[in-house]
Amino acid sequence: MNRGIKFLTAAVLGLAAVACSSPKKMAEQAENVTVNSDPAVLEVVAGKIDANVTVTYPEKYFHPKAILEVTPVIVYEGGEAKMEPYYFQGEKVKDNYEVISSEGATITKPVHFEYAEGMEKCYLELRGTVKFGDKVTELPTKKVADGANTTYMLVCDNGKVDYKADAYQEIIKQTAEGQVLYTINSSVVRNSQLKGESVKNFLAALEEIQANERKELVSTEVIAYASPDGGEKLNTKLSDNRSKTAEKAFNKITKDEELGAPVNVKSIGQDWEGFQELVAESDIEDKDLIIRVLSMYSDPAVREQEIKNMSAVYKELAKEILPELRRARFIANVEYTNYSSEELLQLINDNIDVLDEEALLRAATLVKDLKGKVAVYEKAVEKYGSTRAQYNLAAAYLNAGKTAEGKAALAKVSEKDADYQNAMGVVALQEGNLAEAAKYFNAANNATAKENLAVVDILNGKYADAASKLAESGKSLNKALSLILTNDLAGASQAICCDCPKGAYLKAVIAARQGNAEEVKANLEKAGKDSGLAARAAKDIEFVQFQ
């Protein structure tokens, strides 16, 4: 981009020299004074325009008795902004202004303006008057710099709020189970067991699985055990024998069923795990002591002996617990296919009450419009008191830029975790309170908050800090912008994340800074699909040399 500036005639700042007999002649000879600006193209940083204007007065230019008033002015569409004037005086003036020697001088002064809408298309000029004796002359107004670069304002400054995850399962693993019990030291399956309620319920479950199109039987298991009394070697053999008879029994009771799934047969031996579970669930007075023995000893023989030593307790175990462990289990492993995305969307319209909390949380993620998404989250809050849904309700509002609604929803969130801190930071960001936003983002201290903190850095003019925070993040428009603002144009090109109007606009900025006119034109055409970006491009100083 052409960063050159135009010379300002000295009439703006220059005054009568010894060779000049009047302010009028000083104005006529003002071309001998040079003026430039740093930066040459004005730039808006953190809502402010700052530059340094340097004026060089040649020798014998500034009259010793002259007083100069200089007012920096930004002229833009819709108005103008004036600074308080600077005053300068010749060597023989008895006042307190800065003295300019008739021998010549170079003066640098800062200019500062608060950005106002429309200043992206503007110019900086200096307006001056010179007082010489009783005469006051208005000097010619001249430009110092053109335009004001507002590229940083392309930042996506809405902030980002993550949603709490649901635990919805597309496939739910289920089991159906029955069992047969054996008598002590026996591996014979009794007919009474095959006709018992446990086996009947198991067969009924198999029939229901086959009739239910959402359920699929993926495998079956036959698992045999021995109770942990009578010695480990004996019980291992007994368990093995029970696995064989249990398999035959299983095949017998399922001969009329079309299982279509493999049968896995296992022999466990002594069932210490089942023993501990039954003891823990029982009303045995000394059950805590028994469980402590199990935790103290791992050797089966020692465990059995220590428990037998508690004679009164052992009698109760022999009566209530051990018979339940002389068993073989029949297990059907099932996969239940949950509602699909299409079904969830249909159900929230037709029969939302059948959905549980996790299904509602998942369904809300599928709804595109804010009103519908809010309705689903509100249902989850109403029906289940879902804390995640309450937080996600706030997130939905904030991500849509509905600050007041998001803030109100967030006020009802009970868990003040990192997600909450980040969301509060987004509220402050959307309200324009950058210091408060930074406080919350730092408290959150997670990846999303770090990205949001980079937005605060960009808005505060800390472009290198923003680029550093986004260095480890994935592609994003804000990352690309931070690299443009730090003049890493190659990195910026790689960071653009979408084939969208704003992404095209950033590509046009990159191309403009690289002097690639064809790329500028092509990308501005894509960006122009967004009317707001099209209007911006027409005034953007980035593209002035291509217009």
Size (the chain), residues: 547
Mean pLDDT of all residues belonging to the chain? 91
How far apart, in whole angstroms, are the C-alpha atoms of residue 439 and residue 430? 14
Above 80 in pLDDT, residue 311? no
Above 50 in pLDDT, residue 504? yes
- Asked whether the beta carbons of 417 and 164 are under 8 A apart, the reply is no
Instruction: Give the mean pLDDT of 505-524.
Output: 96
Beta strands in 375-453 (DSSP E): none
How far apart, in whole angstroms, are the C-alpha atoms of residue 339 and residue 26? 86
Instruction: Give the mean pLDDT of 322-332.
Output: 96
Q: Which residue has the higher pLDDT, 14 or 406?
A: 406
pLDDT level of residue 26 (50, 70, 90 thresholds): low
Above 90 in pLDDT, residue 453? yes
Instruction: Give the mean pLDDT of 167-185.
Output: 96
Instruction: Give the mean pLDDT of 510-516.
Output: 96
Q: What residues contact 533, with CB distance under 8 A and at least 6 apart?
A: 501, 502, 505, 527
pLDDT level of residue 290 (50, 70, 90 thresholds): confident
Above 50 in pLDDT, residue 101? yes
pLDDT level of residue 513 (50, 70, 90 thresholds): very high
Instruction: Give the mean pLDDT of 70-82.
Output: 94
**pLDDT confidence of residue 22:** 55
Weakest mean pLDDT among 284-288, 472-476, 521-525, 539-543: 284-288
Segment 438-447, tens digit of pLDDT: 999 999 999 9
Above 90 in pLDDT, residue 460? yes
Instruction: Give the mean pLDDT of 511-540.
Output: 96
pLDDT level of residue 8 (50, 70, 90 thresholds): very low
**pLDDT confidence of residue 17:** 36
**pLDDT confidence of residue 141:** 86
Q: Token pair for residue 129?
A: 């008057």
**pLDDT confidence of residue 31:** 79
Q: Are strands 122-132 and 135-138 parallel, antiparallel or unpaired?
A: antiparallel
| Torsion from C-alpha of 430, 432, 436, 441, nearest 10 degrees | 40
Q: Which residue has the higher pLDDT, 311 or 212?
A: 212
Instruction: Give the mean pLDDT of 356-373.
Output: 97
**pLDDT confidence of residue 334:** 96
Above 50 in pLDDT, residue 393? yes
How far apart, in whole angstroms, are the C-alpha atoms of residue 328 and residue 223? 5
Instruction: Give the mean pLDDT of 303-308.
Output: 85
Q: Which residue has the higher pLDDT, 27 or 521?
A: 521
Above 80 in pLDDT, residue 498? yes
**pLDDT confidence of residue 135:** 84
Weakest mean pLDDT among 24-38, 113-127, 263-277: 24-38
- Calculate the alpha carbon distances from 59 to 17, 33, 132, 348 in Å: 8, 10, 19, 84
Q: How far apart are the first and last CA of the chain?
A: 12
**pLDDT confidence of residue 24:** 66
The pTM is what?
A: 0.80
